[in-house]
Chains A and B, each alone.
Chain A
Amino acid sequence: MIRRLLLTANEALATYSHLDARIALISATIVALAVYLSNFNVLISIFAVFISLIACKSPQKILKGLTASIPFILFFSISSYLLSGDLTYVTKTTFGVIALISVGVGILYGTPPEEVVNALVFFKVPYRYAFLIALAFRMFQIYIVDLIHVVEALKMSGEKGLSYYKKLMKTFASIAVLRSLAISEALYSKGFGLENVKSYSRKISKSDVVLLILSSFLLILAIIE
């Protein structure tokens, strides 16, 4: 089950669209803001999912992202119910969370992380901090594969119960540290930070404009609501 969830998440993160990262960043922020300002209005949330679908052109990808997030969505819904005891509120916020995840997967994760880094540099974020996004993305891919292998190795050794989870955490944490060190070595060797990295501009496409208009429209709708 865990293995399947991890693999699904990895697949969802690995499909890219061709949106301009600057537009994607602005649109994702606007759509998320609209969902929040509308007080998690269900219609606004559904519209946000619709925009995400248009942005990434792949319902499958959003579905994969949502499937991988099921434990989180369930956890969120149950805790909301326990805290509020109000089913209408739980439904609204759950839709809101689904909308935010769709925006994240559909708009932001549809853009290669290197393009997001470039967009951030364009918005004057220092490169060494902006690059952390691309690095985190890459590390996440490595960690997912590592976690799957550690689970398999422990399964082979016949570990069970609490000891299984203790060993899983311990082994995974140690490997994560080793991987980080190795990646740092690779960055050093590749000359990370030798010179200032400049941002570059891409031509804005029709789909970028459509996405921006739709997102702005949703924000206006949320404010009027």
Chain B
Amino acid sequence: MIKLKNVSYTYPNGVKALRNLNLQIDDGEKVFIGGSTGSGKSTLLRIFNGLIPNFYGGRLEGEVLIYSTKDKKELIKRVYFVSQNVEEQIVSSVVKYEMAFPLMQRGYDFKDAIEIVYDISKKLKIEHLLDKKTHELSDGEKQMILIAEAIACEVDCIVLDEPFAHLHPNISEKILKLILREDKTVILSEHRVEFASYFDREFWFNKPNFYEIELEDGDLGDTVVKADSISFSYGDKVLFDDLSFEFRRGGIYAIIGLNGSGKTTLLKLIAGLLKPKEGSIETKGSVSLAFQYPNYHFSENTVEREVDFNLLKMFELERLAKRHPHSLSSGEAKRLSIAKAFSGDIVLLDEPTAGQDYIFRNKLLEIARKSGKTVIIATHDLRLAKACDGVIDLDKKATFNC
């Protein structure tokens, strides 16, 4: 059983992340943890396997009872933690070694570990991935491997911190069903509230009142991005063939598709970072791009030097003005990189709502509309895409209002 009573936590830099939190989770219970960006979900999850305070330091107060143990090793053995960024979770170069890694750390010899890996892979129908190199996998496959690792370790509790932030809803649902089938305690934090219904119980830091994403009507101007029969491929993998579309000034457009369907590549083609193999893309005005990993964009010492103060205000980041951009939480860094991208006439955003709450999604659309800029969003968020002026669906190879 997991029991937290009047728990408060302060990070070593003085930021108070949790205040008087009470939570009890019974064995085998499936719990959904929700709340707005920066509400403390990730901090809470890191308490369960001892990352807080053993790895992060800081001051943890109150009564923390996790499987009646305070022993560091015992906690890791009983609780398995999977965090948001799949790239940073993989430590081996081949899938089977990756899956065997935590087992070998728990004292299994290689042969036994590999046997368990094969069994679990068969059960989860991922045995075709075992001999692949980890860097060749799609994000969805990587996430699947990490979850298979957690299941293989036979822990009592699996803790997942926004594991689906960068995954297509269909893949996320498939993985979620897989985990919930397990006879273990599962604790998951997520911004996609639609997943809450799969769980025995929901725990909210602050529950949003509305889930709808709305976009005001706007006047669209002349064409600022025109793609004419573009084709692009990576080696033998053809991503687009004869794709044409037009984006108009002031319009907000979405690019959707499964992981690996070419959303980021299309943004890079529009940005001019890549060139189409055939066809052409013309743009009018300056183009700026916010990558999925926000920190690629930060080269200054303070947030206020990265972005104009008005943009900071618009994105409600002014309180962070004096902070170092690389010290921000992933949600805050994401907002800052998006704010920075709004300096261009054509704004390209790669997964801007990943790890962001519903309030921000509406806020983003509102800012985009008010700015009068052309905003093109590559996203897995189908609700957000539905609200946009036009959509390119790379799976169906179809464009709607584009």
Contacts and interface: CB of A to CB of B under 8 A. Distances in A.
Interface string A172-198: 001101110011111111111111111
Contacts of B326: 174-175, 177-178
A149 B83 contact: no
B287 A200 contact: no
Nearest to A180: B88
Interface stretch (B59-67, B105-113, B177-185, B254-262): B105-113
A186 B271 contact: no
The interface centre, meaning the residue of B109, B287, B291, B299 with most chain A CB atoms within 10 A of its CB, is: B299
B76 interface: yes
Contacts of A200: 109-111
B110 A190 contact: no
Given A191-B76, A195-B106, A171 B296 contact: yes
A141 interface: yes
A156 B288 CA distance: 6
In which size bucket is the chain A interface?
A: 35 or more
Contact of B55 (A155, A174, A188, A196): A188
Interface string A18-44: 000000000000000000000000000
Contacts of B288: 156-157
Contacts of B91: 134-135, 138, 183, 186-187, 190
A129 to B, nearest CB: 15
B289 A156 contact: yes
Nearest to A183: B88
A16 interface: yes
Given A178-B295, A185-B55, A189-B51, A195 B105 contact: yes
A14 B132 CA distance: 11
B102 A190 contact: yes
A153 B340 CA distance: 11
A188 B54 CA distance: 10
Most A CB atoms within 10 A — which of B76, B271, B289, B296? B296
B107 A194 contact: yes
A196 B88 contact: no
**Among A16, A138, A184, residue most surrounded by chain B Cβ atoms (within 10 Å):** A138
Contacts of B77: 191, 194
A92 interface: no
A15 to B, nearest CB: 9
B111 A189 contact: no
Given A188-B51, A191-B76, A195-B106, A112 B93 contact: yes
Q: Do most interface residues of chain A lie in helix, strand or loop, or is the interface mixed? A: helix
A186 B97 contact: no
Contact of A195 (B83, B107, B153, B298): B107
B296 A189 contact: no
Give chain B's interface residue range (CB within 8 Å of chain A): 35 or more
B49 interface: yes
Interface in B309-336: 326
A150 B296 CA distance: 5
Contacts of A186: 83, 88-91
A110 interface: no
B111 A174 contact: no
Contacts of B93: 14, 16, 112-114, 134, 137-138, 141
A149 B288 CA distance: 14
A167 B49 contact: no
B386 interface: no
B94 A114 contact: yes
B97 to A, nearest CB: 4
Contacts of A137: 93
Contacts of B298: 171, 174
Contacts of B101: 190
B196 to A, nearest CB: 24
A196 B54 CA distance: 21
A146 interface: yes
A70 interface: no
Interface of B: 49, 51, 54-55, 73, 76-77, 80-83, 85, 87-94, 97, 101-102, 104-107, 109-111, 133, 135-136, 149, 153, 268, 271, 273, 287-289, 291, 293, 295-299, 326
Interface of A: 14, 16, 112-114, 118, 134-135, 137-138, 141-142, 146, 149-150, 152-157, 167-168, 170-171, 174-175, 177-179, 182-200
14 contacts: A14-B135, A16-B93, A112-B93, A118-B110, A135-B91, A137-B93, A149-B291, A183-B91, A184-B55, A186-B88, A186-B91, A192-B105, A194-B77, A197-B104
Given A14-B133, A114-B93, A196-B107, 5 more contacts: A155-B273, A156-B288, A157-B297, A188-B54, A192-B105
